[in-house]
Amino acid sequence: MKEQKKVIRWIKDHKKELIIAGVSIAAVIGAILLYKNRKALKAYWDYLVGLIQHVGVAKTPGDAVKTAENVAKVTEEVAKATEAATHTAEVIPFEVAKHIRNLPDGWHASPGKIASAVENGVALAEGQTWVDCYWKGVAV
Residue 137, pLDDT score: 81
Beta-bridge partners for 131: 99
To the nearest 10°, report the CA torsion of 63, 59, 133, 115: 40
Average pLDDT, the chain: 82
Coil, strand or helix: which one is 48?
helix
Residue 103, pLDDT score: 92
pTM, full prediction: 0.36
Q: Please write the tens of the pLDDT for every residue from 34-85.
A: 888 888 888 888 877 776 666 555 566 666 667 667 777 777 877 777 776 5
Residue 129, pLDDT score: 93
Contacts 24+ apart (CB under 8 A), 39-42: 39/90, 39/92, 39/140, 40/85, 40/90, 40/91, 40/92, 40/140
Contact between 81 and 106 (Cβ < 8 Å): no
